[in-house]
């Protein structure tokens, strides 16, 4: 029997990069998936891939994770359809660089709404669904920048540090209900997100990795999968770096 058969797994930001690789990993192990991106049309490719590897049709939800009304409506729909949720992966996020002196209130709001407020809303509703069964695993995607900071990334770094704070607090609150909450802090991962960096920044970042290479989305997905699985049944309130030794 596949290890995720009968499990309902929700991945935000599943159209590309880390989210897509993670979704496929769960699909291969038989999970029933709920997949999100800003538009349902962005999920066509992953939809076909999931059907191919698992035979299970995923539920596709196109909504902006920063919109609290859309998040609430989506949970209402999933509650009606499945009555339960086993795994919530809060992966959707944006990276927009700006030096502190140039940072506009609009950009700060956009980054925090997408990277932090979304995580809080999803944890709130997910934990209500999970609490009914007294079990569940929430995995929040932070970043090494939330721990180390970076030039030009005051808002992004602050948002990812906030994800860690939210994770640790929720882990304490939800442990008595049998719900585990952990965060991961990827380093430099080969996705569309890092393609927007200038050559100079790209080379600097690469040089700071002890393993001398970027990580793959699958290498991040494997850690998310571990945190969701029974192998991590006594793991909560942790922040796991996946960075090829950037922090060593």
- Token pair 């998310």 in the structure block, residue: 224
Question: Binding of ligand NAP at residue 153 (CB under 6 A)?
Answer: no
Smaller CB separation from ligand NAP, 14 or 129: 14
Which of helix, strand or coil describes residue 118?
Answer: helix
How distant, in Å, are the alpha carbons of 186, 198, 213 from that of 203?
A: 17, 9, 11
Question: Binding of ligand NAP at residue 19 (CB under 6 A)?
Answer: yes
Question: Least separation, in Å, of the C-beta of 42 and ligand NAP?
Answer: 4
Smaller CB separation from ligand NAP, 66 or 182: 66
Tokens of 210: 């002890």
Among 53, 94, 108, 148, binds ligand NAP (CB under 6 A): 94
Question: Binding of ligand NAP at residue 58 (CB under 6 A)?
Answer: no
Contacts of 63 (CB under 8 A, 6+ apart): 36, 38, 70, 71, 73, 74
Q: Where are the alpha helices (DSSP H) in the chain?
A: 17-28, 44-54, 68-82, 105-112, 118-131, 145-148, 154-174, 192-195, 199-207, 217-228
Q: Where are the alpha helices (DSSP H) in 102-216?
A: 105-112, 118-131, 145-148, 154-174, 192-195, 199-207
Among 7, 85, 86, 93, binds ligand NAP (CB under 6 A): 93
Q: Which stretch binds ligand NAP (CB under 6 A): 11-19, 50-58, 130-138, 233-241?
A: 11-19
How distant, in Å, are the alpha carbons of 108, 141, 245 from that of 60?
A: 29, 20, 36
Question: Binding of ligand NAP at residue 203 (CB under 6 A)?
Answer: no
Among 9, 23, 24, 42, binds ligand NAP (CB under 6 A): 42
By CB under 6 A, the residues from 121 to 150 that bind ligand NAP are 141, 143
156 is catalytic: yes
Residues that bind ligand NAP (CB under 6 A): 12-19, 36-39, 42, 64-66, 91-95, 114, 141, 143, 186, 188-189, 191-194
Catalytic residue ranges = 156
């Amino acid at each position: 029997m596949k290890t995720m058969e009968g499990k309902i797994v929700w991945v935000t930001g599943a159209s590309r990069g880390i989210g897509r690789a993670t979704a496929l990993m769960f699909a291969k192990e038989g999970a029933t998936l709920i997949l999100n991106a800003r538009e349902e049309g962005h999920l066509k490719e992953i939809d076909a891939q999931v059907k191919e590897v698992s035979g299970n049709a995923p539920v596709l939800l196109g909504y902006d994770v920063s919109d609290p009304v859309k998040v609430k409506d989506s949970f209402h729909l999933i509650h009606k359809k499945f009555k339960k949720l086993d795994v919530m992966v809060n992966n959707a996020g944006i990276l927009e660089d700006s030096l502190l002196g140039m940072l506009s209130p609009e950009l700060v709001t956009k980054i925090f709404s997408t990277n932090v407020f979304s995580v809080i809303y999803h944890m709130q509703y997910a934990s209500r669904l999970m609490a009914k069964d007294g079990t569940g695993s929430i995995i929040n995607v932070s970043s090494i920048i939330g721990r180390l900071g970076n030039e030009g990334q005051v808002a992004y770094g602050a948002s990812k540090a906030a994800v860690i704070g939210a994770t640790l607090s929720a882990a304490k609150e939800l442990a008595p209900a049998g719900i585990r909450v952990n965060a991961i802090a990827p380093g430099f991962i080969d996705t569309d997100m890092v393609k927007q960096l200038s050559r100079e920044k790209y080379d600097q970042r690469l040089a700071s990795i002890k393993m001398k290479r970027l990580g793959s989305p699958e290498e991040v997905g494997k850690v998310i999968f571990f945190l969701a699985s029974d192998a991590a049944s006594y793991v909560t309130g942790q922040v796991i770096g996946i960075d090829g030794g950037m922090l060593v």
